[in-house]
Copies of this chain bind each other. A is one copy, B any other.
Amino acid sequence: MAKEITPRSEDYSKWYNDIVKKAGLAEHSAVRGCMVIKPYGFAIWEKMQAQLDKMFKETGHVNAYFPLFIPKSFLSKEAEHVEGFATECAVVTHHRLMADPNGGGMVVDPAAKLEEELVVRPTSETIIWNTYRDWINSYRDLPLLINQWANVVRWELRTRLFMRTTEFLWQEGHTAHATRQEAIDETVQMINVYAQFVEEFMGVPVIKGVKTPNERFAGADDTYTIEALMQDGKALQSGTSHFLGQNFAKAFEVKYLTKENKEEYVWATSWGVSTRLMGALIMAHSDDDGLVLPPKLAPIQVVIVPIPKPNEEIDAVAEKIATELRAKGISVKYDNDARKRPGFKFAEHEMKGVPVRIGIGKRDLEKGLVEIARRDTKEKYSESLDTAVAHVTELLDHIQDNIYKKAFDYRKAHTTRVDTWEDFQKVLEEKGGFISAHWDGTTETELKIKELTKATIRCIALDEKEEAGKCVLTGKPSNKRVLFAKAY
């Protein structure tokens, strides 16, 4: 099985597609740009959802559900917003099909044309702020802290499974606040929640930062981002949190009465992560044998394989180990299919990124041993049957840490401080990764660098210190380094 994967060194993009396919995560559908998320891929997404949802609720948010459709006129109310999304909208124009009067199947019924076209939501700020107008009257109604799990559609010309698809699944938080500061605090809180989730659960280190004006969300005053580095040296924007100022409140006339009985516009944030995180998870850790999953998100954390096949004695030992592990909340599969050989099973579970494999063979058992195999390092060793459960329990934590550390070390090795344009180009071409460099603060220079090198400013890191310097392209003065990279 593993041999069917294209090695990373040969074709990174093909390697990614091979893993998504062979591990049973997703596939292209018959509908242009839309994917089918297969059961194993969806099981990982469900674990992500459950943890994120918990973290949202712990920070005081509740879930709700808003319509899939947005009246065309709503989208137009915030000028920058419509500019950002108009060119990629799926538009519903009719509400009925009919038999073709000329024969030949079904056609759109021209009599069922909508008075106003409906856009399939590319994001929900407009429909939600139109709703909030009725929900918010006074300071007592604030803050409003709402999240929605939903599908959204952005008509993409070039798609890639999980990374960029016409339809994708996501969550979008939309909050309303009485003061500017409270909205900014919320924006920062949520980028921190995302960073914590991606680092602690996905095992992917991220840089927290703010976007340049040019890279901001359409309609935002400020966009916070978390940026991760993939194994090909490209950055992946993994989550964003937007401070929307009063832009949507003004577009939809959402005002509230202050304690002092004054009318004020409401302050807003929105924040989202999507099935794109699946892409980050796959790209950050996997190897040429398949998927590598952090234990905290693995649908199956431990697989037990009988060697060479199940028998009464092996079954009994396997069930005992499985029961004890499950009692600790660990998900275990006993792969006792007698039709498949161990080698086939090993390759299959490696492909699917199961973090730990326990092999149970007759000869080992006579010596009171089982075989432990780690997916992350590919190490194999014998462990006493008596200590196997305790060992595996600790090992899962250790693997979670190790996966993060590996990605962290990779990023560290692929983050380069650069001070000349020559070095900038050289590092970008030869090494890739993040480039920390001075920039003169103009959109003009930013776009020029993108045009020349395809590198974009991923963010201005929140923990970046002030430092006098000169723009790497123009030589103009700069007081802070920013992070450049080629990106997905």
Q: Which residues of A contact B (CB under 8 A)?
A: 29-31, 34-39, 42-43, 46, 62-76, 82, 86-99, 105-106, 108, 117-120, 127, 130-131, 146, 150-151, 153, 155, 167, 169
Contact = CB atoms under 8 A, between A and B. Distances in A.
Contacts of A68: 34, 120, 151, 153, 167
A413 to B, nearest CB: 36
A108 B119 CA distance: 10
Given A69-B90, A91-B97, 7 more contacts: A39-B63, A68-B153, A76-B106, A90-B118, A91-B96, A92-B92, A93-B93
Contact of A93 (B35, B63, B108, B153): B108
Nearest to A120: B92
Nearest to A150: B151
A72 B97 contact: yes
Tell which of A38, A97, A118 has the most Cβ of chain B within 10 Å.
A97
B106 A75 contact: yes
Contact of A37 (B64, B74, B86): B64
Given A39-B63, A92-B90, A97-B89, A69 B167 contact: yes
Given A120-B92, A151-B68, A30 B97 contact: no
A95 B34 CA distance: 14
Contact of A39 (B64, B87, B91, B92): B64
A78 B275 CA distance: 32
A75 B46 contact: no
Contacts of A99: 86
9 contacts: A31-B118, A31-B127, A39-B64, A73-B105, A89-B96, A90-B92, A90-B94, A92-B93, A108-B117
Contact of A29 (B63, B66, B89, B92): B66
B64 A38 contact: yes
Contacts of A96: 86-89, 91, 155
B91 A86 contact: no
Contacts of A74: 30
Contact of A97 (B75, B97, B106, B131): B75
Contacts of A127: 29-31
Given A31-B71, A67-B29, A68-B167, A39 B146 contact: yes
